[in-house]
A and B are shown apart, each in its own frame.
Chain A
Amino acid sequence: DTAVSQTPKYLVTQMGNDKSIKCEQNLGHDTMYWYKQDSKKFLKIMFSYNNKELIINETVPNRFSPKSPDKAHLNLHINSLELGDSAVYFCASSLHYYGYTFGSGTRLTVV
């Protein structure tokens, strides 16, 4: 039933590790996104994919690499994790510019 689902919900890992967050949507949307929410609750777009094609890549370190195997999935892989990567990462989807729907978030804690 879940429209946009992301896993895991919580992720605690050590500095220097590599981790992935997965996202899937069953809404038939054509665009998917990753947003980052920092400790001050600011939400900022990181990436946007439209039909598996990278459309938006904001100023994000190269350690972050999104991958979209099909238009219903958008995963986020993070290499060499740093303390500053600790945040809540939200996946979202939309149909063109309408109907933005967010997942429940992945709280990443780097120790």
Chain B
Amino acid sequence: GEDVEQSLFLSVREGDSSVINCTYTDSSSTYLYWYKQEPGAGLQLLTYIFSNMDMKQDQRLTVLLNKKDKHLSLRIADTQTGDSAIYFCAESSYTGTASKLTFGTGTRLQVTL
């Protein structure tokens, strides 16, 4: 089955690094995604990683994938107040006829001064 878990809340100080963790269960996932949702807004794609990669870096964002443990993390360097939002990890599954994203429970990131 598919179940994607995240811790619900993370508080960091401005300028520090944030690490948001995610565990998933579907080992056949092809891509894993990180989305950001600001209050009252839609889902913004931040980054994604292909399942045969271990790491992907994109400016302040670093994604680490441990496929053996089915663990995904998102590191945000030099966290800013504008990074305060809910972060969702999501795994994609594709059966040949149907594809879908299964989302984690979301982690609310609070950045304090």
* Contact digits for A19-39, partner B, Cβ 8 Å, 1 yes 0 no: 000000000000101010000
Of the residues B37, B88, B99, contact of A31 by C-beta under 8 Å? B99
Of the residues A33, A42, A45, contact of B106 by C-beta under 8 Å? A42
Main secondary structure of the interface of B (DSSP, over half): strand
* Contact digits for A45-85, partner B, Cβ 8 Å, 1 yes 0 no: 10010100001100000000000000000000000000000
Of the residues B43, B98, B100, contact of A90 by C-beta under 8 Å? B43
Main secondary structure of the interface of A (DSSP, over half): strand
Q: What chain B residues lie within 8 Å of A105 (beta carbons)?
A: 41-43
> Is A94 part of the contact surface with B, judged by Cβ < 8 Å?
yes
Interface size for chain A: under 10, 10 to 19, 20 to 34, or 35 or more residues? 20 to 34
> Is A12 part of the contact surface with B, judged by Cβ < 8 Å?
no
Docked Cα-Cα span, A4 to B2, in Å, equals 26
B42 adjacent to A43 (CB under 8 Å): no
B86 adjacent to A101 (CB under 8 Å): no
* Contact digits for B17-44, partner A, Cβ 8 Å, 1 yes 0 no: 0000000000000110101010001110
Question: Given contacts A97-B31, A98-B31, are A104 and B105 in contact (CB under 8 A)?
Answer: no
Q: What chain A residues lie within 8 Å of B43 (beta carbons)?
A: 43, 90, 102, 105
Of the residues B31, B35, B88, B100, contact of A45 by C-beta under 8 Å? B100
> Is B10 part of the contact surface with A, judged by Cβ < 8 Å?
no
Docked Cα-Cα span, A33 to B106, in Å, equals 20
Q: What chain B residues lie within 8 Å of A102 (beta carbons)?
A: 35, 42-43, 45
B41 adjacent to A41 (CB under 8 Å): no
Name the residue on B nearest A42 (C-beta). Answer: B105
Q: What chain A residues lie within 8 Å of B97 (beta carbons)?
A: 50, 55
A94-111 interface (Cβ within 8 A of B): 94, 96-98, 100-105
Measured CB to CB, the residues of A under 8 A from B are 31, 33, 35, 41-45, 48, 50, 55-56, 90, 92, 94, 96-98, 100-105
6 new A-B contacts, CB < 8 A, other than A43-B88, A55-B97, are A33-B100, A44-B103, A96-B99, A100-B33, A102-B42, A105-B43
